Amino acid sequence: MDKKKLYYVTCECDEGGNIAVVNHNSRKAIINGRRYLRNQGCECEFTDFRCKWKKDFQNVNLQNMEIGEVDDFILGLKEGIYHYIYGSECPKCGSDDYMISIVNGEIMCSECEDKLEETLNLNKKLEGNNE
């Protein structure tokens, strides 16, 4: 059986969009990605979709992932498939208004990251005053 590969399927229309897809070849990946993006409201023609094999994602263990779209974005973030995501609920504060990424090994939105940084800076300032 063919080895699973990671692809990114993108749409080049104004509505745009992209999705990571795990599949054995680009033909199957673009079918998965097109179906997902069309369900999200993209009305492009088949020729407007592009599919790229992400060879540089060798450290991602795809063998445990199911064939198809990686639409569990938090899982995709944990597995290193996505570097950041929008529109998903932050596991820390529950907001879905901010970009979510991994900061110091923890998944959080940019608002939580700012609060964490403020706390760390305040702690450093307090430690400096105690010396």
Task: Note the pLDDT of residue 106.
Answer: 92
Q: What mean pLDDT value characterizes the chain?
A: 86
The full set of domain ranges for the chain reads: 1-82, 83-131
Task: Note the pLDDT of residue 127.
Answer: 73
Distance, in Å, from the CA atom of 78 to the CA atom of 70, rounded to the nearest integer, reads 12
Task: Note the pLDDT of residue 98.
Answer: 93
Task: Note the pLDDT of residue 96.
Answer: 92
In a 10 Å sphere around its CB, with 0-12 CB exposed, 13-18 middle and 19+ buried, how is residue 36 labelled? buried
Task: Note the pLDDT of residue 18.
Answer: 87
* pLDDT profile of the chain (131 residues), mean per 10: 85 80 93 89 81 78 86 89 90 93 92 91 73 58
Distance, in Å, from the CA atom of 21 to the CA atom of 81, rounded to the nearest integer, reads 10
8 and 53 Cβ atoms separated by less than 8 Å:
no
Task: Note the pLDDT of residue 41.
Answer: 83
